[in-house]
Structure 1
Amino acid sequence: MNKNYNDLLAFVTVAREGSFTKAAGLLGVSQSALSHTVKGLEERLDVRLLNRTTRSVSPTEAGERLLQSIAPKLEDIDRELELINEFKLRPAGTIRITAAEHAANTFLWPKVRQLLLEYPDISVEISVNYGFVDIVAERFDAGIRLGENLDKDMIAVPISPPLRMAVVATPEYWQKRQKPTIPHELVEHNCINIRLPTYGGMYVWEFEKDGKEINVNVKGQVVMTSSIGRLDAALSGLGISYVPEDLVEEHIKQGRLERVLEDWCLPFDGYYLYYPNRQLSSPAFRLLVDALRYHRR
């Protein structure tokens, strides 16, 4: 049998994406050419590998067995090819990272931007995602999460100092409403809520003082997952927002926002870059880790 490993790569990509259109985009070929390639593989093997409908594509039983068998081997080949970059004069390759918006904008992108300027052969893909992503299943090289949410089987590298939240609203809002002195008084206010993307429910605002923890279910006119969006809503006078302190420090200094319940907002563990402990690190990835690493004073 004529062995063409490109055919196997084409099949694996289509099976994983569940779409010839998406797979063609990833592989940089036309949809018709990709369909012809997979059909040729099925004819040579004399077995149907994919069930095709007008709406979706899914592996047959034989296709699923082939997918589970060869996909890890193709990934191993990709990793080994990436490691060949060690023999180049300059590190190269593509690094895929998933992170929430605040982490990506504040701690990831400023360092990545400088790294890309220094090493033009390195490419970085940043996927902004508010839920918990399985970086192995989704084929990311690394992810960024708060320290308290890390999986134990991952290598974790700190990339930020401890963080702190802030409860803020405009001076105009506070002129109309009495400022809360304890967290429970927030239920009487128009608060900009946060929906948890992983579970679908509303985020409970968390506070602590003198060893006493208080969680408050707030209500209001606006619900957003984006921290930048919640900041903008607060600046627009739509209510009280609960956002990372670093996002509002300048607005507080300039008098655009006023803070309350500051003594109830204690620091907590910051962001970490995490990746599988079995991952073979390429020179490009090691440079990224070193660039992002936060050195505690």
Structure 2
Amino acid sequence: MKRDDLSDLALFAAVAEHRSFTRAAARLGMSQSALSHAMKALEERLGLRLLARTTRSVGTTEAGQRLLLTLRPAFDEITQELAALGELRDRPSGLIRITAGRHAATTYLWPALRRFLPKHPDVQVEISVDAGLTDIVADRFDAGIRIGEQIGKDMIAARISPPLRSIIVGAPAYFKKHAPPRRPQDLAEHDCLNYRFATSGSLYAWEFEKSGRPMKVRVEGSLIFNDAEMIIDAALDGHGLANVFEDQVKSHLAAGRLRQVLAEWCPPYPGYYLYYPSRRQTPALKALIEAMRV
């Protein structure tokens, strides 16, 4: 079958169903003369009259009616299949690559994926746990999860966690040897467990705020880590003060294994955001964003 034949057969079906060149042309978005010319060309190629034209209406000949009965279910099937393909296009599928720090990945991303993946069996997720500030565009990630203030202004972000709080904690054994600090400046007299950023190589400056006045303090200590879990273990063993997320040590605080200090200097701040570089997301990423948004 030639390409023109398939196109003209669709035009014929429209004329036959509307029983009017005028109405069919309006429906098809073409001129009446172009439609009439296409029908004459189709009839000439087939060697059969398909349409019986009168001054008031257009009907089908016997051959035209037979052809219409054949075309109608075929075009219906094509229409249904195109609709099904549209659903397939919009159905979440494919690979999503996400970079996140360990705390965000274990506390917020993984619980969300446990609910998300059974509902979307065609989606595959790759998680890169990385404490550094990864360039998601250069490293070809679809999205990243970071604290709001760490996200570039050219990114689009959706909040996925409640407010977070970083707190200062130490073990009872540590406080038997050291008086608790009463203000951030007192940390200069304490053994603090430092955290080194993997990307920049710099040490994290502990952040505080009171009465709307922010403050950063660079602390010193005998131990430096690039892993928060090891910092918590060192604090539990009495090796120094730790700056950690409150939810990471909630059970230790409740059991008395750790004690919080400088609480009035540690207000909550906006939590984690899932961020991505473009307003045009794949259906899979869009579905995940909606599943994680708070």
TM bucket (normalised to shorter chain) is: 0.5 to 0.7
Q: Hey, what does 1:245 align to over in structure 2? A: 246
Q: Give the alignment of 1:211-290 within 5 angstroms.
A: 211-278=212-279, 280-290=280-290
Q: Hey, what does 1:186 align to over in structure 2? A: 187
Q: Is residue 99 of structure 2 the alignment partner of residue 102 of structure 1?
A: no
Partners of 1:224 and 1:85 in 2: CA distance: 51
Partner amino acid for 1:284? A
Partners of 2:175 and 2:235 in 1: CA distance: 12
CA distance 1:264–1:137, change in 2 (3 Å): same
Q: Contact between 1:183 and 1:207, CA under 8 Å: does it hold in 2? A: yes
| CA deviation profile, 1:57-80 (whole Å, cap 9, x unmatched) | xxxxxxxxxxxxxxxxxxxxxxxx
State the 1:116 CA deviation: 1.8
State the 1:89 CA deviation: 9.3
Q: Hey, what does 1:13 align to over in structure 2? A: none
| CA deviation profile, 1:38-92 (whole Å, cap 9, x unmatched) | xxxxxxxxxxxxxxxxxxxxxxxxxxxxxxxxxxxxxxxxxxxxxx895179632
Partners of 1:90 and 1:218 in 2: CA distance: 50
State the 1:287 CA deviation: 1.6
State the 1:293 CA deviation: 0.5
State the 1:173 CA deviation: 1.1
CA distance 1:213–1:173, change in 2 (3 Å): same
| CA deviation profile, 1:77-134 (whole Å, cap 9, x unmatched) | xxxxxxx895179632111000111111111111012212332321111101122211
| CA deviation profile, 1:273-292 (whole Å, cap 9, x unmatched) | 011125x4222212211111
Q: Give the alignment of 1:101-120 within 5 angstroms.
A: 101-120=102-121
Q: Is residue 166 of structure 2 the alignment partner of residue 165 of structure 1?
A: yes
Q: Hey, what does 1:52 align to over in structure 2? A: none
Q: Contact between 1:153 and 1:277, CA under 8 Å: does it hold in 2? A: no
Partner amino acid for 1:173? Y
Q: Hey, what does 2:196 align to over in structure 1? A: 195
Runs of 4+ in structure 1 deviating by more than 6 angstroms, as ranges, are none
Q: Percent same amino acid at aligned positions?
A: 50
RMSD of Structure 2 on Structure 1 (CA): 1.8
CA distance 1:86–1:144, change in 2 (3 Å): farther
Q: Contact between 1:85 and 1:91, CA under 8 Å: does it hold in 2? A: no
Partners of 1:122 and 1:233 in 2: CA distance: 39
- Look up the SS of the partner of 2:249 in the other structure: helix
Partners of 2:191 and 2:205 in 1: CA distance: 15
Partners of 1:94 and 1:112 in 2: CA distance: 13
CA distance 1:282–1:213, change in 2 (3 Å): closer
Partners of 1:109 and 1:274 in 2: CA distance: 16
CA distance 1:254–1:282, change in 2 (3 Å): same
Q: Give the alignment of 1:58-207 within 5 angstroms.
A: 86-87=87-88, 91-207=92-208
Q: Give the alignment of 1:3-18 within 5 angstroms.
A: none
Partner amino acid for 1:131? G
Q: Contact between 1:107 and 1:159, CA under 8 Å: does it hold in 2? A: yes
Name the TM-score, length of structure 1 as normaliser: 0.67
CA distance 1:85–1:234, change in 2 (3 Å): farther
| CA deviation profile, 1:157-182 (whole Å, cap 9, x unmatched) | 00011111110011111112111111
Higher-Rg member (1/2): 2
CA distance 1:197–1:89, change in 2 (3 Å): closer
